[in-house]
Structure 1
Amino acid sequence: MKITSKLKIIPLGGLGEVGRNMTILEYEDKIIIIDMGLGFPELDMPGIDFTVPNTKYLEDKKNKILGVFFTHGHYDHIGAVPYLIGKIGNPPLFASPLTTAIIKKRQTDFPNAPKLNIKVVKEEEVIKLNPFEVSFFHVNHNIPDDYAIKVETPIGTIIYTSDFKFDPHPVNDKPTNLKQLKSFGDQGILLLLEDSTGAEEEGHSISEKTIKENLEIIFKQAKGRIIATTFASLLNRIQQLITLSEAYNRKVVIQGYTMKSNVEISKELGYIKAEKHTIIEPKDMHRYQDERITVIGTGAQGESNAFLMRYANGEHKEVQLKRGDTVIFSSSVVPGNERSVQALKDNLYKRGAHVFHYKMMDIHASGHGEREDLREMLRLL
């Protein structure tokens, strides 16, 4: 068959930057979109909380948009939905069960935004939107229900890897199906759009199994409360902390609006598992000795209004810092936040906390593949 048209691939964000992921695939007069995320403000953007992709290109093409497909539930991939969906004609959305639930929950914070037309898709389900055929396959990240996307077009197959890493021993997840990837490669791939966040790091990303083993060392030696902080969307890590707390007879308190919301959604869908009385309310902490309490909260980036900063400054009404608390930073530092995070750690040290972070031991692993992971994906496809 003679091909007379070209396929346009237009990144509106996420290329040459971290965050703000949004990519257009356009063939003749038909468009699909992959992801619709928030971006991080630059150092020269004081007072700006986040950025969103520029959708001007799409605003006179609303009737050409067939659908928006989401890879996973992190805000740099879904966070711009409330701000942009009305501007582009409120097209159908397609996402995994967890991603769908997070998008819907976030939309409730925007009562004036359009009602979403969102369809839950399962792994390996195929969506046919002529001339595109879109399917989904599982990859490992640090949130459940992370889908890479395969798009069949009239001129060839496109693979969009999503954020991924290869982890042969994931925690609370299954490994990526390497045989499936190899079969895609054998069939022929026109273009691979691959996560490159870790492209400057040599080697393989650290397995979540290693992270859990190192976190357990801290749990074994902690004499009082454990205060653990990580990203609110890092659900696999939150599950590890809950599981370890149960193993060491600790109750768990969740702090931070977004983290509470994500944990509630994930529990309802079965992605976070906890025994019936493990997670308690802050008002019930006094019923338990300190060595039986774990607090998991937001604020690992030194945000002024987040749980951890208020805890460190003695401003949190429910959790006051106690000398001897063990504070775990199970996260990396986002570029630009180094000074605020270091100031937070210094304050915790001064007030008598025992602080652990990823530069001391492997208690955080990126969800993004490093060079050997990227090479492996290239070899398979």
Structure 2
Amino acid sequence: METSIKILPLGGLGEVGKNMMVIESPDDIVIVDCGVMFPKPEMLGVDLVIPDIAYLQQRKEKVKAFLITHGHEDHLGALPLILPKINVPVFAPPIAYDLAKVKLEEFGILAKSQINEIQPGEIFELGSFSIEFFRVCHSIPDACGIAIKTPIGLVVHTGDFKVDHTPIDGNRFNLMRIAEMGNQGVLLLMSDSTYAEVPGYTPSEQVVSQALKHVISDAPGRVIIATFASLISRVQQIIDAAIADGRTVSVAGRSMTNNVKMAFQKGYLKAPQGTMTEISLLGKIPESEQVIIVTGAQGEPTSVLNRIAYGRHKDISLLPNDTIVLSASTIPGNETVVARTIDQLVKKVSRVITPHQAQVHVRGHGSQEELKLILNLTQPEYFVPIHGEYRMLAAHADLAISMGVSKEKVFILEDGDLLEISKDKAKIIDTVPADHVFVDGLDWLEFDNIVLGERRKLSRNGFVLVAIPFNSQKGEFFGEPKITTAGVVDQDKLEDLQNNASNYLSSELKRNSGMFVEKMEAIRLIKKLVSSFIYEHTGRRPMVIPVPVEVDQNEAN
């Protein structure tokens, strides 16, 4: 039987976030990345979105490890949620290793996890696979691509990358190793597509340092900078700019605080004694000497920046002289919530600076010329664009074809597409379930879960609560119904609607008096009558919640 491998994206293709790629041989599976996606506004009440791992759970005995490319949430954030279900070793480069440990500790599962730190260039075996991490550049230190030697050839997964010749940490993209792989022969290249539509080159992180220095030195009062908690190199840039202007630095937000603490302990961050100040002590320091780093650059409702914008943060209240900086690009899909947060901030402070106004952020992903460079160095037989919405994947596919990859050997996959590759052919052989899984408190909810459907209905049309005395033994209603509504009509119409609906229901039920009614039938009857009345008088279809209040035999008499 001909040997083959299978490639299965469970997240990150056709979307931005929750990256997870499965590489499967006949005997073994390795998984590259294990990320989350932050919920969109229509995902009501949802905390996080993670990949559907049903395919992996059905093949749990084959899974050898998770291989983490770097420390961003969309690449490792789902580990604490998925490891309890598939508890296999995790291999990650240094800063991703430490960030993953922080997350696993927060969830109380670090002691039960098998997490291993891997240095770029290190080679190790996992079943039928030989694994090598190689250094790339991204917006976080220690970002890596992964080369996987399979039974039929070399698979190269770039992770998120750009080609930065002057990175903040001094560790350059190992292009020499990429070229060596190309000379040895690359069966399949899977390459970051996030900015495949953007011509030219992505600027170096060094330009951000200069922009931050200008913004901070020009600010008349406090500077509050929002960025991702995992952007450790950006935090160092902010610290350096604050020191240059004689300011102290504070951090706010649980994830930011935990990550910064870890980064100082491990030596990823450096600052002279006295630079860092607790939020609680800022009252003793002049506002013109303060820089505060916070979470919330994506407008997340519970983030520090959002709570500051709406006056809900217990320690930080906005002042007219404050300067707010959003040092992050907006993730596709978050534009509306970010715009609302910015609008709220602009009402309260003198300056709000975004990457559109100053280079306070540069992309962490390569533009077209960098993507072409990787294609040229690797010369892959097959190509799969990864990480991005469909138009981004399509743009990258076009680039690959322009660089000489045969059109028949370029595959634009979406989550759930199962690609089988053998030595002389490749094709999509199946589609497996790969919908969003919503993390809602302690629950995992499927994409079409009834709970989310009910929340959407509540958000659109409100609800009607109907309480009425009922005796199950006699199968009869007793007394008058009490109807309460929310989100259905304006306050000035509310009382009339509730009274009229109660009178209508009471009248209709009296017509059925003397008949025995099962409790479930009573619930259906109330729902039908009230729904009909509300629609007739408002044109709306709210959620109707009947509550038969049980009364005993004596009360019923």
If the TM-score is normalised by the length of the shorter chain, which range does it land in?
Answer: over 0.9
Q: Residue in 1 aligned with 2:229?
A: 232
* 2:82 corresponds to 1:77: no
Do the aligned partners of residues 113 and 218 (structure 1) sit closer, same or farther apart at CA in structure 2, a change above 3 Å counting? closer
Partner of 2:149: 152
**TM-aligned CA distance change 1:24 to 1:343, over 3 Å:** closer
**C-alpha distance in 1 between matches for 2:245 and 2:16:** 37
Q: What is the CA distance between 1:18 and its match in structure 2? A: 1.0
Q: The residue matched to 1:360 in structure 2 has which SS?
A: coil
* Matched-pair contact (CA < 8 Å) for 2:212–2:360: yes
Q: Structure 2 vs 1, CA of residues 144 and 112 (structure 1 numbering), >3 Å: closer, same or farther?
A: closer
User: 16, 19, 25: which is aligned to 2:17?
Assistant: 19
Deviation at 1:42, TM superposition (A): 4.9
1:299 alignment partner, SS class: coil
Alignment of 1:123-142 (within 5 A): 123-142=120-139
Q: Is the 8 A contact 2:346 2:352 kept in 1?
A: yes
2:36 aligned residue: 38
**3-state DSSP of counterpart to 2:50:** coil
Shift of 1:206: 1.8
- In the TM superposition, what whole-angstrom CA distance separates every residue of 1:131-165 from its partner, at most 9, and x where no partner exists? 11101111111111111101111211111001011
Q: Which runs of 5+ in 2 are unaligned?
A: 379-557
Q: Tell me, yes or no, if structure 1 residue 303 matches structure 2 residue 335.
A: no
Stretches of 4+ moved more than 4 A in 1?
Answer: none
Superposition RMSD in Å: 1.7
**Distance change in 2, residues 1:6/1:352 (3 Å):** closer
> Which residue in the other structure is 2:56 paired with?
58
- Residue of structure 1 in register with 2:375 after alignment: 378
- Is structure 2 residue 319 aligned with structure 1 residue 322? yes
Could you tell me whether the CA contact under 8 Å between 2:213 and 2:242 is conserved in 1? no
Q: What's 2:545 paired with? A: none
What is aligned with 1:259?
Answer: 256
Q: Distance in 1 between matches of 2:12 and 2:158?
A: 13
CA contact (8 A) 1:18 1:40 kept: no
Structure 1 distance, partners of 2:39, 2:308, is 25
How far residue 103 of structure 1 moved from its aligned partner, in angstroms, is: 1.4
What is the distance in 2 between the residues matched to 1:306 and 1:200? Answer: 30
Instruction: Give yes or no for contact 1:86–1:114 (8 Å, CA) kept in 2.
Output: no
For the 8 Å contact 2:16–2:332, the answer to whether it is kept is: no
| Structure number with higher relative contact order (C-alpha < 8 Å, ≥ 6 residues apart) | 2
Q: Deviations over 1:239-293 (max 9, x none)?
A: 1001111111110010111111111111111111112211110122122222211
Letter in 2 for 1:217: H
Residue 9 of structure 1 contacts residue 25 of structure 1 at CA under 8 Å; is this kept in 2? Answer: yes
Q: Which residue of 1 aligns with 2:216?
A: 219
- 1:15 alignment partner AA: L
Out of 38-47 and 19-28, give the one that drifted further: 38-47
Q: 1:48 to 1:305 in 2, by over 3 A?
A: closer
The CA deviation at 1:353 is: 2.5
Percent identical pairs in the alignment equals: 39
Structure with the bigger percentage of helix: 2
Deviation at 1:303, TM superposition (A): 2.3
Match 1:28 to one of 26, 32, 44: 26
Shift of 1:179: 2.0
1:274-315 CA-to-partner distances (Å, cap 9, x unmatched) read 122111101221222222110110112222322112222333
In the alignment, is residue 170 of structure 1 matched against residue 167 of structure 2?
yes
Moved more, 142-151 or 210-219: 210-219
Deviations 1:14-33 (A, max 9, x none): 12211111111111121111
- SS in structure 1 opposite 2:106? coil
Aligned pair count reads 378
Q: Which has the larger radius of gyration?
A: 2
Q: CA deviation at 1:112?
A: 6.4
CA contact (8 A) 1:82 1:110 kept: yes
- Greater Cα offset, 118-127 or 301-310: 301-310
Q: Residues 196 and 338 from structure 1, CA distance in 2 versus in 1: closer, same or farther, beyond 3 angstroms?
A: same
- The C-alpha deviation readout for 1:17-63, integer Å capped at 9, x for no partner, is 11111111111121111111112435653332322111111223222
Matched, 1:105 2:94: no
Task: Please name the residue that 2:356 is paired with.
Answer: 359
Residue 95 of structure 1 is matched in structure 2 by 92
Structure 1 match to 2:487: none
| 2:192 match: secondary structure | coil
Instruction: Summarize deviations over 1:185-235 as a string: whole Å, max 9, x none.
Output: 111111111011111112211211111112222122112111111111122
CA 1:308–1:180 in 2, change beyond 3 Å: closer, same or farther?
same
Amino acid at match of 1:102: L
SS in 2 for 1:163: coil
Instruction: Flag the 1:303–1:292 CA change in 2: closer, same or farther, 3 A.
Output: same
Shift of 1:346: 2.3
Question: Are residues 1:189 and 2:180 paired?
Answer: no
Give the TM-score normalised by the residue count of structure 1.
0.94
Residue 534 of structure 2: aligned partner: none
Q: TM-score, normalised by structure 2?
A: 0.65
SS across alignment from 2:97: helix
Q: 1:24 to 1:187 in 2, by over 3 A?
A: same
Query: 2-side partners of 1:24 and 1:338: how far apart?
Result: 30
For the 8 Å contact 1:32–1:67, the answer to whether it is kept is yes
Q: Distance in 2 between matches of 1:24 and 1:313?
A: 42
Letter in 2 for 1:311: I
Residue 119 of structure 2 is matched in structure 1 by 122
Q: Counterparts in 2 of 1:201-220, with a 5 A limit?
A: 201-220=198-217
